[in-house]
Amino acid sequence: MKKTILINASPRKKWNTAHLLKAAEAGACEAGAETEYVDLYDVKGTGCRSCLACKKKDGRRCHCFWPDGFSPLIDSIFAADAVIIGTPIYFGEPTAQFRALVERLIFCSFSYDDYSSYVDKKINVGLIYTMNAPYEYYEKTYKEQFKRTEDLFRYLKGTVSIYAACNTLQVEDYSKFNMASFSETEKKEHQEFQFPKDMAAVKAMAARLSQ
């Protein structure tokens, strides 16, 4: 049976990113895959410590040796057939936890001899972004900006698929926050119209990557 790991790289466990990942998990299950869902902010780990243990000549490949919670998660990713990671966009970047995991995952997957990949299989990757920015801004600015990070996942040798959910609803009641630059009415109207489409799109993406 195929296995798909879904990773919520948002600190919020029940908001936009999580909802999309749950839809993606349903798609993976319908495709016949076994799934594992991880809230990354519950996993204790940091970015790469540059210990270089993964680069030793007699070392184990595609394994991070640093003794924290990220290392077994990385082992699980390398053992899976697909990984789908969801992250909100903060200040024009994926979350700090997303970046930390990517550093660790990708660094131990490639050779410093010739920059080839140590991965001996194809691991499909789905990246789901959620953001306050409108879709036009994502297309104009973020899409190219994020490409450098997305290209790192090519070391996993599988298909890399991207989905951006834009102009998302930040809170249920805007009157409780200093968010006067946003229209709660417009945000909620957009969420009601667009978010079901986003859910359906990531469900289909996950099903495709999990086959």
**What is the pairing mode between strands 82-90 and 3-8?**
parallel
Tell me what pLDDT residue 59 has.
85
User: What is residue 164's DSSP assignment?
Assistant: E
CA atoms of 24 and 65, how far apart (whole Å): 30
Q: Which CATH architecture has domain 3-210?
A: 3-Layer(aba) Sandwich (3.40)
pLDDT tens sequence across 7-21: 999 999 999 999 999
The strand pair at 82-90 and 93-94 is best described as antiparallel
Q: What is the pLDDT of residues 153-174, one digit of tens each?
A: 999 999 999 999 999 999 999 9
